[in-house]
Each structure stands twice: as structure tokens, then as C-alpha cells.
Structure 1
Amino acid sequence: MISDLPTGFARHLGTDRRRSEHTVRAYRATAARLVAFLGQHWGEEISRAALGRVSAADLRAYLAHRRSEGLSNVSAAREVSAIRGFLSWAGEGTSGPPLKGPRVKKGVPRPIAPDEVLALAETVAEEASEPWIAARDWAVLLLLYGAGLRIGEALMLEGGIFPLGETLSVTGKRSKTRMVPLLPQVREALERYADLCPFGVSSGSPIFRGVKGGPLSPALVRRSVRHARAVLGLSDRTTPHALRHSFATHLLGRGADLRSLQELLGHASLSSTQIYTRVDAAHLLDVYRNAHPRAEG
């Protein structure tokens, strides 16, 4: 049966690969879409053996179909990653035809678009070997983008922050403490990680742990982001710290004043915050130039 293929793949991911529920759900959906497309494309029932003759042209046709439905570059890149895993599973380790994800335009540093941030966080979580690690990585990246924390600030958080409220006390540079608002999505991510963490969450101990229970290393977070941005075809300037920059720039673009932004970011001087006015202006200029090719600089 056609439905057995995506279901079997999902079972493999959840049981053999111990991937997170989020990854299993996303990859199963991609597998189901591909099988349905190939069934119509070839005019036949799709068996596991039939997947062995999928060509690069077939996959390009599938991606073109998905792009016609409004799939973005970063989402298409994630879809390619899922397809590779599905075809490898169907071929029992035999790689399918070579298929490159779409190229994402690279250039000078710019804020990461919200859809790219979510795709990055989802891809990092999908690569995790355990559900609790997926929840951990998702929570860390949402803290950087959704609360504007530095990576060191996020990893220094201790169990005493629970139960969570509407705001979070953060200790930044020079041991200066500030209060940042917690968006519901960020709060839910933290609470889910706390529920899944096998080492528990206790006051005085770091929340985010490595696989052996020690404090999570910033280098591990950076490495995961490097891998995810390669999968998605994002610029090498897409770093954990860039998520904090995007938080600031997007708030400024939505009307936040510099003094409030300075407090949220924990900047000692306003001059450190004012850089985002230039970044936002440059971003708007790019939008203008793209919309009006004859516009002069």
C-alpha cells in the first residue's frame, strides 16, 4: 500500500534513529507528498522497489510542483533533506539521485528573515539524536531570536527561573541583570525542554545540558547551526549571534524605540544599539532597489 511507505519511514525515524516527534511528523509529511506526486507523475502505484528508479528529473519535477504551491527556498532545502533520507531508507542505504537544494542569495550581513529563523531552528532540532536534545536546541535558538539573548546568557540560565512568568531575569556582561519579556512560544519551548530533560532542572544548576549531563557548550550550538545553514543554503553569516541581531532589527522595524531596545539587549551605551538603525535602513534600501530596478543608490 502507498500509505505504508511514509508510515514505515516514520517508524524507522522514531524507533531506529530516535528522532524527535517534530522530525518524524515533518519527514513523514514530505514522504507522503513525494509518494502521492510520483503516483500521479508515473500513473502507477508506488512501491518501495519503484522508489529505486526515481531520477533527478523526477525530483526536480516534484520540487517545481512544490514551488508552484508557494514553497520558499529554505523550506525547499529542508524538503530536499527529508527526501534524501526517505530514498536512502527505501533503498536500504543506497543513496538516491543527486539533488541539490535551491541556492539562497548571499551578500552583506542582513537580518535573518523570520521564516529562515524557524527553518534553521527546525533543521537543528531535526538533526538531534534524541527528542530531549531536539527540544533543547529548539529552546536555545528561540531564546536567541525571541528574547534577544547572547548565546552565553542563554546557556547560563539556571533552574531557578522555573516556574516561568511573563518576563525572564538575564545576567549579561559585567554581571548586569536585565528583564526581558518571554513570548508564549519561547516559554512553551523552555517548559517542554524542562519536561524532557533526563537530568532534571534544579535551582543553581544550568538548564541546558550536554549528552553526558554537563553544561551545554556554546561550540556545540554553533556547530549545529553551521550544519543546518549548509542544509538550507543560508549565508555563512547565519550564526547564533545573528539571531540576536535579527531580534533587534525586527523590533526596530516594528517601531521599538532605541532606549527600550538598549534595555532589552543589555547594551551599556546607546551607541551600541544605534547600529541597528543603519542595518534597518540598509535592509529597507535593498527592498526598494529590488522593487525598483532602475532606482539609483
Structure 2
Amino acid sequence: MTTLAGEFGQHLARDRRRSAHTVRAYQATAERLLAFLTQHWGGPVGRPDLARVSAADLRAFLAHRRGQGLGNASAARELSAVRGFLAFATGEGATPRLKGPRVKKGVPRPISPDEAVALAEEVAENAAEPWIGARDWAVLLLLYGAGLRIGEAVGLSASVLPLGETIPVTGKRDKTRIVPLLPPVRAAIDAYATLCPWPLPRDAPLFRGAKGGPLAPTIVRRAVQHARHTLGLSDRTTPHALRHSFATHLLGRGADLRALQELLGHASLSSTQIYTAVDAAHLMDVYRNAHPRA
């Protein structure tokens, strides 16, 4: 069973070019499904057996997972992973029809430009060393000033140096997009590169940890968490919120939705369209707070 789940993980990484996080999560789901079916059916489960998985079996599996505390969003992701695994294992491309749980789409919560800058400044000022402060400032400006995901920012290689007006960014499924750099963002990266005590050959990571290894996203998240508490900002103020803010503020200034899709590296326009709801929500907040009859 473990071998079959492992083959599924290899398929996702090699053929589908899914992220390491997705591969781990989907492979774990496959292992859980196989273990459940072994108990549910009362015997070992092989690849041929998966062709007889029914909608009732999947409902029983989801009920089992619900009993373990799974919420709607997680259950929907679990079902998506199960469908992908069954299609891979049976080679038929068809899975039992089962309607997934309803998931209420959340609207991203952006922060204001002043809060974004204050957050980055607080993180930089609290750094243990000046070069680390310059590093954190550059990383957070990439999130807010260029709309990068945290994984994309820390995954940049030093080959982007010397900087021009744009940089290539490798996003989900190894898709590369070209992202323009504002002068303050370029200046922040250049300042970090000058102060960094570690050599930056072209094939090495651009952003380094305190001991010279690649910078881990968790380091940035912890620094942001500490800074937001100091500043009294919401718990929703995360590194990813800076990317949301980048998109929302651009859209509010009249950016084209298709152009924004390219900047963010979204495969589907529907992923970008959530920011139209964000912008509308922001306008309603302004209306309620400012209009005398609101």
C-alpha cells in the first residue's frame, strides 16, 4: 500500500509538477485511504481493488475523517486528493461521483500600505544583525512590492544579481513569470546583497539563513508574527497577507485583472477575481465609515 501511495507522490512531482507541500499532503491522503479501506473491507487492498471503490465507500471515508476533526475546507481538499489518487491508481480517469462539502470562499484580508511598511520596518529593526535586518526587509518588500509568495521569494537564486528592472520568478508547477521590480525593492535587495556575509554565487540561494544555509519560510513567518503582536495588528497579518495587499492595492488603483493574473502567477483568472470582492469590500468599508447616512 505504501508503495502505491509513494508511486502516486512520484507521479505528482514528476509528471504533474506539483509542489513538495502538495505532494506530501496528497500522498498522505492516499495512505490514509488505503489504510481505511483495509479496515473497511476487512482485507488487504491492491491496485485492482481500487476500481471497485464506490461513492458509499468514499462517504464512509470522509465520515471517518470528519470524526477526526476535519472541517469543510480540509474535507474538500481530502476528497480532491482521493479522486486524483483513484484516477492514477486505476488508470481509468473516472472516479465515483460524490458531491464534496460546501466551502465558503473566504475573501483575503489586505492591510493598508502604512501597515505593510510598518510591519516590514518592525521585522527589520528587531533582527539580530544588520545584514539579517536588510534581508528580512528585502524579502517582505518582495511580497508587498512585487506580489511574490513567501516560497517564491526565499527560493530566488543569486542568479538574479545584478538586478535589472525585472526578475524571473518560478512559481507553482515550475511555471516561470517575469515580475517587475520597483526601485525601493531593487534598492532593498542590493543593500542586503552588499551586507550579506556569505558568498552569493549564481547557483546559490539569494537569501541566506543566519548560518549560511537557505532561508526557511518559517523564519520569516515567526518574525512577522512577533512584529504584528508588537504593532497590534490582526492575526491575519501574515507574509501572505502582504501578497494579498499588493494585489488589492493595485486593483484599487485601476490595474487590469488579466495583468494582475500574470503578475501573481495564477493559472486561472478565477483565482485573481477574488480580489474584485476584496476591492468592493474595501469600498463598502469606506462608504460605511464616511457617508453621513451609512
- The answer for the alignment partner of 1:14 in structure 2 is none
Aligned pair 1:249/2:240, yes or no?
no
2-side partners of 1:202 and 1:196: how far apart? 15
The secondary structure found in structure 2 opposite 1:289 is helix
2-side partners of 1:276 and 1:259: how far apart? 12
- The answer for the alignment partner of 1:100 in structure 2 is none
1-side partners of 2:148 and 2:278: how far apart? 19
CA deviations over 1:234-288 (Å, ceiling 9, x no partner):
0000000000000000000111111000000000000000000001000110010
- The answer for the alignment partner of 1:147 in structure 2 is 146
Structure with larger Rg: 2
The secondary structure found in structure 2 opposite 1:207 is coil
The secondary structure found in structure 2 opposite 1:193 is helix
Residue 233 of structure 1 aligns to which amino acid in structure 2? G
1:293 CA displacement: 5.3
Residue 293 of structure 2 aligns to which amino acid in structure 1? R
2-side partners of 1:117 and 1:162: how far apart? 25
1:200 CA displacement: 2.0
1:188 CA displacement: 0.3
1:111 CA displacement: 1.6
- For the aligned residues, what is the CA RMSD? 1.0
The secondary structure found in structure 2 opposite 1:180 is strand
- The answer for the alignment partner of 2:203 in structure 1 is 204
Residue 202 of structure 1 aligns to which amino acid in structure 2? P
> What does 1:119-134 align with in structure 2 at a 5 Å threshold?
119-134=118-133
- The answer for the alignment partner of 2:263 in structure 1 is 264
The secondary structure found in structure 1 opposite 2:266 is coil
Is the contact between residue 156 and residue 206 of structure 1 (CA under 8 Å) also seen in structure 2?
Answer: yes
| Cα distance change of structure 1 residues 197 and 206 upon mapping to structure 2, 3 Å threshold | same
> What does 1:39-78 align with in structure 2 at a 5 Å threshold?
none
Is the contact between residue 194 and residue 200 of structure 1 (CA under 8 Å) also seen in structure 2?
Answer: no
Is the contact between residue 110 and residue 283 of structure 1 (CA under 8 Å) also seen in structure 2?
Answer: no
The secondary structure found in structure 2 opposite 1:164 is coil
CA deviations over 1:27-72 (Å, ceiling 9, x no partner):
xxxxxxxxxxxxxxxxxxxxxxxxxxxxxxxxxxxxxxxxxxxxxx
2-side partners of 1:149 and 1:273: how far apart? 14
Residue 225 of structure 1 aligns to which amino acid in structure 2? V
Is the contact between residue 120 and residue 225 of structure 1 (CA under 8 Å) also seen in structure 2?
Answer: yes
CA deviations over 1:57-93 (Å, ceiling 9, x no partner):
xxxxxxxxxxxxxxxxxxxxxxxxxxxxxxxxxxxxx
CA deviations over 1:2-27 (Å, ceiling 9, x no partner):
xxxxxxxxxxxxxxxxxxxxxxxxxx
> What does 1:90-239 align with in structure 2 at a 5 Å threshold?
110-239=109-238
Residue 169 of structure 1 aligns to which amino acid in structure 2? P
Residue 275 of structure 1 aligns to which amino acid in structure 2? I
1-side partners of 2:169 and 2:279: how far apart? 26
2-side partners of 1:133 and 1:121: how far apart? 12
Is the contact between residue 170 and residue 180 of structure 1 (CA under 8 Å) also seen in structure 2?
Answer: yes
Unaligned runs of 5+ in 1: 1-107
2-side partners of 1:132 and 1:200: how far apart? 13
2-side partners of 1:214 and 1:167: how far apart? 25
State the percentage of identical aligned residues.
77
The secondary structure found in structure 1 opposite 2:168 is strand
1-side partners of 2:172 and 2:109: how far apart? 25
1-side partners of 2:247 and 2:210: how far apart? 32
Is the contact between residue 109 and residue 237 of structure 1 (CA under 8 Å) also seen in structure 2?
Answer: no
Residue 194 of structure 2 aligns to which amino acid in structure 1? D
Residue 291 of structure 2 aligns to which amino acid in structure 1? H
Is the contact between residue 258 and residue 273 of structure 1 (CA under 8 Å) also seen in structure 2?
Answer: yes
Unaligned runs of 5+ in 2: 1-106
